[in-house]
Amino acid sequence: MSPNPSIQLREFVTGGDPAAQPAASIIVLHGLGADGSDFVPIAQELDLSVIGPVRFVFPNAPVQPVTINGGYEMRAWYDIYPPGADPAVPRQEDEAGLRLAQTIAQALIDREAGRGVPAERTVLMGFSQGCVVALMAGLRAPQRLAGLVGLSGYLALADRTASEVHAANRTTPIFLAHGEEDDVVVMERGTAARDALTALGYAVDWHSYPMGHSVCAEEVADLNAFLLRVLAPD
């Protein structure tokens, strides 16, 4: 069952046997305007065979109007508002949409637990908007996760993070990566997320690459190493 009637899922289990019980799960949240198929090719590049079968879950965000794109309807985890004229004033955030996305992500974590993969064997991962939701939901999850992965995103509701993080995930490893030439989510927003999480005591595995708002081969290799580390068999 999907965690929400409007959320469609695509998934596969590595190793070639769809009936195999996964040793771990990786939930991948796509970026604005994309869908669950966006990161399938990248997931297929990963070599996690030493872990055993791994289930990748690729949910589709709901279709909704996005203000920064003139109200055009597209797949989005939450609405995005244009920046204000004064850069010193924090950008308005769609808190209601972010909270709903957090609920959806938590439902996906719970869904994996219900299928036999506990939270401590589950990684929550996202790109761009998906990164934002992965960090927001993962830091607040009431069960410890194996790891969080945030690619080319930022920390939403940053002023609430310290008071809302759950004790269960105070030591969860975090992989953050960003393109140095990103003109969609500028590098400074990525480094601000890194610095805020580091200040809260999180172990952040930070990487930057000479690229724009995308994914590169070196990043996939670094991600592969992180996943092997946090999902290594006991």
**3-class DSSP assignment, residue 57:** strand
**3-class DSSP assignment, residue 113:** helix
Task: Give yes or no: 166 in active site.
Answer: no
What does the radius of gyration of the chain's CA atoms come to, in whole angstroms?
17
Side chain identity at residue 21, one-letter code: Q
Task: Give yes or no: 25 in active site.
Answer: no
Contacts of 129 (CB under 8 A, 6+ apart): 29, 30, 31, 32, 61, 76, 77, 78, 80, 153
Distance from C-alpha of 120 to C-alpha of 148, rounded to nearest angstrom: 11
Q: Which residue among 128, 152, 178, 205 is the active-site one? A: 128
Q: Which residue among 38, 79, 182, 205 is the active-site one? A: 182
Task: Give yes or no: 38 in active site.
Answer: no
Q: Which residue among 35, 110, 207, 213 is the active-site one? A: 213
Q: What tokens appear for 89 in the block? A: 């004033």
**Nearest Cα residue to 54 out of 28, 104, 30, 20:** 20
Q: Give per-residue burial for 51-80: e unless 16+ CB within 10 Å, then b.
A: bebbbbbbbbbbebebeeeeeeeebbbbbb
Number of C-beta neighbours around residue 225 at 10 A: 11
Q: Which residues are catalytic?
A: 128, 182, 213
